Structure 1
Amino acid sequence: MFEAVFLVAISAIVVLCWVLYGIRYERLVKHIDHQFSGPQSWPVVGNLSQMGMSPDAHLRNLLKWYKQYNYKNFRIWMGPMPYVLFIECKYVEHVLSSTALTYKQDPYTLLYPWLGSGLLTGNGHHWAVRRKLITPSFHFRILKDFLHIINTTSNRFMKLLEQESDASQGQVMDMQRLVSRLTIDVICETAMGTRVNSIEGRPSPIVGAIDDLCHIIPERVFSIFKRLDWFFKFTSLYRIHQQALNTLQVEFAQIIEQRRRLIQTSNYQAAQSDDELLDAKRPKMAFLDNLITAKVDGKSLTFQDIFEEVSTFMFEGHDTTASAITFSIWCMARAPDVQQRAHEEQVILYGNEKEREPTYEELQDMKYLDLVIKETLRLFPSVPFIFRTAREPSVIIDKYVPQGTTIALPIMAIGHSPHSFEEPFEFRPERFEATERTQANAFDNVPFSAGPRNCIGQKFALLELKVTLSKLLRRFRILPAPLAKQTIAQVFNANYKPGPQELKLHMPITLKSLTGVPVRLQRR
Structure 2
Amino acid sequence: MDYYLGYIISLFLSIYLAVKNYIRAAKIIWNLPGPPALPLLGNGFMLKNHKEMEQLGNTAYQRYGSYFRVWFAFLPTVFIYEPKHVKLILATNKNNQKSFVYKALHNFLGEGLITSNGHKWKKNRKLIQPYFHIQILETFVETFAECANRFVNKLEAEKTVKITPFINECVLDILHNGVLGVPLDQQSPYRKGELQAIERYSKPWLLLESIFNWTSSSKQEKAQKLSLHSYTKQIVINRKKETKKSNRSCFLDMFLEIAEKNSEFTNDDIISEAITFMLAGQDSVGATLAFTLFYIAKYPEIQEKIFDEISKIDKNGKLGINDINGMKYLEQVIKESLRLSPVVPMINRVLTEDVMFDDLLLPQGTLIGLSPYITHRLPHVFPEPQKFDPNRFEESKLENMHPYAFLPFSLGPRNCIGYKFALIEIKTIIYYLLQKYELSLPKGKEEIEIAYRATLRSKGGIWITLNSRIS
2: CA distance between counterparts of 1:223 and 1:358? 48
Q: Deviations over 1:398-436 (max 9, x none)?
A: 432223221111001111111111111111111211233
2: CA distance between counterparts of 1:69 and 1:237? 36
Partner of 1:499: none
Does 1:259 find its partner at 2:255?
no
Find the partner of 1:212 among 188, 193, 205: 193
Pick the structure with greater CA Rg. Answer: 1
Q: Deviations over 1:444-463 (max 9, x none)?
A: 11111111111110110001
Find the partner of 2:281 among 317, 327, 344: 317
Partner of 1:130: 124
The letter of the residue matching 2:292 is S
Report 1:192-271 matches (<5 A).
192-197=180-185, 203-208=186-191, 211-214=192-195, 216-262=196-242, 264-265=243-244, 268=245
Give the deviation of 1:397 after TM superposition: 4.9
Give the deviation of 1:74 after TM superposition: 1.5
> How many pairs are equivalent?
451
Distance 1:213 1:29, change over 3 A: same
Give the deviation of 1:29 after TM superposition: 2.2
Find the partner of 1:60 among 41, 51, 54: 54
Matched-pair contact (CA < 8 Å) for 2:47–2:198:
no
Distance 1:424 1:57, change over 3 A: closer
Matched-pair contact (CA < 8 Å) for 1:293–1:300:
no
Q: Which stretch shows the higher mean deviation, 124-133 or 237-246?
A: 237-246
Matched-pair contact (CA < 8 Å) for 2:95–2:351:
yes
Find the partner of 1:340 among 304, 320, 329: 304
TM-score where L is the length of structure 1 = 0.81
Q: Deviations over 1:264-320 (max 9, x none)?
A: 43xx4xxxxxxxxxxxxx521211112212249952633322111111111211110
Distance 1:231 1:61, change over 3 A: farther
The letter of the residue matching 1:235 is T
Q: Which runs of 5+ in 1 are unaligned?
A: 1-21, 198-202, 269-281, 487-502
2: CA distance between counterparts of 1:296 and 1:431? 45
Find the partner of 1:405 among 347, 362, 366: 366
Give the deviation of 1:230 after TM superposition: 2.7
Determine helix, strand or coil for the equivalent of 1:424.
coil
TM-score where L is the length of structure 2 = 0.89
Partner of 2:249: 285
Give the deviation of 1:326 after TM superposition: 0.5
Report 1:364-513 matches (<5 A).
364-486=325-447, 503-513=448-458
Partner of 2:167: 179
Determine helix, strand or coil for the equivalent of 1:284.
coil
Q: Deviations over 1:231-253 (max 9, x none)?
A: 32232222322222222222122
Does 1:91 find its partner at 2:76?
no
Matched-pair contact (CA < 8 Å) for 1:196–1:207:
no
Q: Deviations over 1:493-514 (max 9, x none)?
A: xxxxxxxxxx221121111012
Q: Which runs of 5+ in 2 are unaligned?
A: 1-18
Distance 1:32 1:251, change over 3 A: same
2: CA distance between counterparts of 1:182 and 1:298? 34
Distance 1:78 1:439, change over 3 A: same
Matched-pair contact (CA < 8 Å) for 1:71–1:413:
no
2: CA distance between counterparts of 1:312 and 1:292? 16
Matched-pair contact (CA < 8 Å) for 1:71–1:417:
no
Matched-pair contact (CA < 8 Å) for 1:205–1:247:
no
Find the partner of 1:107 among 88, 101, 110: 101
Matched-pair contact (CA < 8 Å) for 2:255–2:270:
yes
Distance 1:26 1:206, change over 3 A: closer
